[in-house]
Amino acid sequence: MALSLSLGPRVRKSPFFEAARADGLAAASVYNHMYMPTSYGDPAAEYDRLINGVAMWDVAVERQVALKGPDAMALARYLTPRNLDGLKIGQGKYAPICNFEGALINDPVLLQVSDDEFWFSIADSDITLWAGGIAGARGMNVEVFEPDVSPLAIQGPKSFDVVASLCGDWIRDLKYFAFRDFDLQGIPLVVARSGWSKQGGFEFYLRDGSRGEELWNIVKEAGAPYDIGPGTPNYVERVESGLISYGADTDPSSNPFEYGLGKFMDVDQPHDFAGKKALQAIRDAGVTRRFMGLLIDGPDFTGTNENRWDLSWNGANAGYLCASAYSPRKQSNIAVAMVHVDAIESGQRITVHAGGGDRTAEVVELPII
Ligand code: THG
């Protein structure tokens, strides 16, 4: 029997939730203590819209952790190993957050929205608690809170036309992670060139949660000439593109170097930050496993893996598979996985202990496409 999700007031709803439901929302997960839409019941159509057309996604689960006040910048610098020297209003940065052991505890996008206000647009972990705790313990003069801000993503090659028709042609010149305040028919937004796909797109950060349904319908109407339809962060496309899904791909000891995030960190900055010593030690020692792609032999997968699958090579454990899928564009079974460095360096096939039986797989660099 299909297992369903129990709806109730303990898990929060997005401002777009009822509009999404009216448009056929079929499945959801839970992320940042909110329902996160995962399917409208037709995965093939949702994938096709993202690759060839345009889709609109309720990603209000991407909550913002606001830091506001005189010490906001100092707190932001303490929270991330990313070098924030070039940060400016209007240009976001991917800014990993680590604990004091150097483990990755979130992989947010950081936006400076005014002189003294910053938003970490977070993945699925409680950074409001972490940041508030650090600010309090360090006696910093800064407020840490979750503002009324809810992203709606518009993704896919035709998203440029849809968003230009709503906001103007200036959106075509936005650099990746750049953003700007915009008043859309009286609805306050931050419009950003961002989103969790490599198909191009935008995010409308809605700044008034009472207007979710209105915004949803405006986007739906503007997108109608381009056959817009509802979608969700796309499982297959993200595996093809090698985008990290915090929590799905990470475990309590994952460090950012294992995910290739070294380029988004500067662990030798003069100031102190959470995890600095540990990250320097990890950098010096090198990693023992890396986040990689797999091309998996055998019959086409249908659906997705519910559990992690163990990997082995040369008779020993070689890590774990995080997410697997059949890729229509690669015409192969694919996956993202944490793979031990010795298995990667062997250049040999590894074994995937898949749900339906063992399979062999080639280890490849990300992205797969
Ligand atoms: N949108 C918003 N907030 C978010 C996400 C989002 N917060 C959580 C999560 N997603 C953050 N994680 C990522 C991971 C990867 C990317 C974006 C958000 C991404 N990376 C590009 C890449 O890997 O090629 C580019 C990175 C770069 O060049 O800086 O797109 O989706 N609001």
pLDDT digits (tens, 9 = 90+) for 67-122: 999 999 999 999 999 999 999 999 999 999 999 999 999 999 999 999 999 999 99
pLDDT digits (tens, 9 = 90+) for 292-339: 999 999 999 988 899 999 999 999 999 999 999 999 999 999 999 999
Pairing mode, if any, of strands 357-364 and 289-296? antiparallel
3-state DSSP call for residue 258? helix
pLDDT at 1 over 80: no
Question: What is the rounded distance in angstroms from the CA atom of residue 72 to the CA atom of residue 170?
Answer: 30
Phi, then psi, of 251 in degrees rounded to 5: -135, 175
Q: How far is the CA of 239 from the centre of ligand 1 (A)?
A: 14
* Cα–Cα–Cα angle for 130, 136, 139, rounded to 5 degrees: 140
> In the chain, where does DSSP find H-type helix?
17-22, 43-52, 72-79, 127-137, 159-167, 212-223, 235-241, 276-285, 341-346
Q: Are the C-beta atoms of residues 233 and 321 closer than 8 Å to each other?
A: no
DSSP3 helix / strand / coil % (the chain, rounded to 5): 25, 30, 40
Tell me the CB-side half-sphere exposure of residue 355, using CA atoms within 13 A: 12
203, burial (CB in 10 Å: exposed 0-12, middle 13-18, buried 19+): buried
Q: How far is the CA of 1 from the centre of ligand 1 (A)?
A: 35
Closest CA to 193 of 166, 213, 165, 170: 170
Q: Work out which ligand 1 atom sits closest to the CA atom of 177.
A: 29
User: What's the predicted TM-score (pTM) here?
Assistant: 0.97
pLDDT digits (tens, 9 = 90+) for 192-215: 999 999 999 999 999 999 999 999
CATH of segment(s) 17-62+149-238: 3.30.1360.120
| Cis preceding-peptide flag for 328 (omega within 30 of 0) | no
Q: Are the C-beta atoms of residues 38 and 29 closer than 8 Å to each other?
A: yes
Q: Work out which ligand 1 atom sits closest to the CA atom of 123.
A: 8
Q: How far is the CA of 288 from the centre of ligand 1 (A)?
A: 25
pLDDT digits (tens, 9 = 90+) for 158-182: 999 999 999 999 999 999 999 999 9
The pLDDT of residue 2 is 78
The pLDDT of residue 303 is 84
Residues of the chain with CATH 3.30.1360.120: 17-62+149-238, 239-364
Tell me how far apart the 2 most distant CA atoms of the chain are, in Å: 63
Pairing mode, if any, of strands 104-106 and 34-39? unpaired
Q: Please give the class, per CATH, of domain 239-364.
A: alpha beta
pLDDT digits (tens, 9 = 90+) for 23-81: 999 999 999 999 999 999 999 999 999 999 999 999 999 999 999 999 999 999 999 99
Distances (CA, A) of 250 to 54, 125, 307, 323: 29, 12, 13, 11
Q: Work out which ligand 1 atom sits closest to the CA atom of 233.
A: 31
User: Can you read off the two tokens belonging to residue 169?
Assistant: 């042609």
Pocket of ligand 1 (CB under 6 A): 62, 94, 107-109, 121-123, 151, 176, 194-196, 203, 243-244
